[in-house]
Amino acid sequence: MPTLCIEPLVVTDFPQLHHDLILFISANAVRYGLPILQQRGEGCLARVRMGAVGRQTASCLQQAGFPPDLMPEHFNSEGLLALPELQEMAGKHVLIVRGQGGREMLADGLRQRGATVDYLECYRRCLPRADYKEILAQGRAGEIDVIVTTSNEGLENFVRLCGSLNWPFSLALVVASQRGKKLASRLGFKGAIMVLDEVSNAGILKALQQWRRTAPPC
At 216 the pLDDT is: 67
Instruction: Please state the domain count of the chain.
Output: 2
Q: Is 34 exposed, middle or buried (0-12, 13-18, 19+ CB in 10 A)?
A: buried
Does the residue 155 lie in any domain?
A: yes
At 15 the pLDDT is: 64
Q: Are residues 64 and 143 in the same domain?
A: no
Q: Encode pLDDT of 93-129 as tens digits.
A: 999 999 998 788 999 999 999 999 999 999 999 888 8
Q: Are residues 81 and 142 in the same domain?
A: no
pTM value is: 0.76
Q: Are residues 10 and 112 in the same domain?
A: yes
Instruction: Count CA atoms closer than 13 A to 30's CA, side-chain side.
Output: 22
Question: Residue 95 is part of which domain span?
Answer: 5-126
Does the residue 216 lie in any domain?
A: no
Q: Encode pLDDT of 7-51 as tens digits.
A: 999 887 776 667 899 999 999 999 999 998 888 765 577 788 999
Q: Are residues 112 and 139 in the same domain?
A: no
Q: State the CATH number of the domain containing residue 146.
A: 3.40.50.10090
Residue type, 198: E
